Amino acid sequence: MVRSVGGGGWWVASSPAYHGPMEHTATADTAVAAPERSAADAFMRRLLRIPDQQPAIDESETHRIFSTSIFLSALRCLLTYILLPIVLPAIGVAKGVGPWIGIPVGVLALVFDYLGIRRFWLADHHQRWAFTALYAAVGGMVLALVIGDVVTALH
């Protein structure tokens, strides 16, 4: 519970986590300034639609999304190169359904790749450029597979 004391702008909390009085109004002197960013960082933040004054987020969720997007991309590759062209036709199942399975899985993988890149940039992760390069490489391969599936499905 929080209550004002003496009308002077000081707050007193009655919770055990209270560590002392704190002024409840922010001034221009106490506002947090945006960190200096390189031109490349500023470009990527605009490309990913991250506001300049966006505070960094917790990194724990970032790694979970990374794992999910890489899993989906790996699943897409397993479907494309092993399950659909070799295993299922060998047992007489799923002839010609590859693109219809590959397209939605590939699009989902690409969405998670974008969300993963964006999450690393939102967290202002110290390895955001390395993960961006990894996501771009994986996403490029998945995009090529999706385009191939669309061409195959249209014929």
Write the DSSP assignment of 53-108 as a string of letters.
Answer: TPPPPPSHHHHHHHHHHHHHHHHHHHIIIIIIIIIHHHTT--TT-HHHHHHHHHHH
Question: pLDDT at residue 147 above 90?
Answer: yes
Question: pLDDT at residue 81 above 50?
Answer: yes
Burial of 11 (0-12, 13-18, 19+ CB in 10 A): middle
Q: Is the dihedral of CA 115, 138, 64, 103 positive or negative?
A: positive
Quote the tokens at residue 69: 């997007």
Question: pLDDT at residue 34 above 80?
Answer: no
Residue bearing tokens 């961006």? 132
Quote the tokens at residue 149: 């599936």
Q: Tell me the pLDDT band of 94, cut-offs 50, 70 and 90.
A: low
* Of residues 50 and 9, more confidently modeled: 50
Q: Tell me the pLDDT band of 117, cut-offs 50, 70 and 90.
A: very high
Domain ranges across the chain = 1-31, 35-154
pLDDT at position 33 is 60
pLDDT at position 13 is 45
Neighbours of 105 (CB within 10 A): 21
**Angle formed by the axes of helices 98-122 and 128-154, nearest 10°:** 160
pLDDT in tens, 20-30: 454 544 444 44
Element (H, E) at 6: none
pLDDT in tens, 44-54: 999 999 988 87
pLDDT at position 8 is 47
Distance of CA 35 to the CA centre of its chain: 21
The whole-number average pLDDT for the span 92-102 is 74
Element (H, E) at 118: helix 98-122
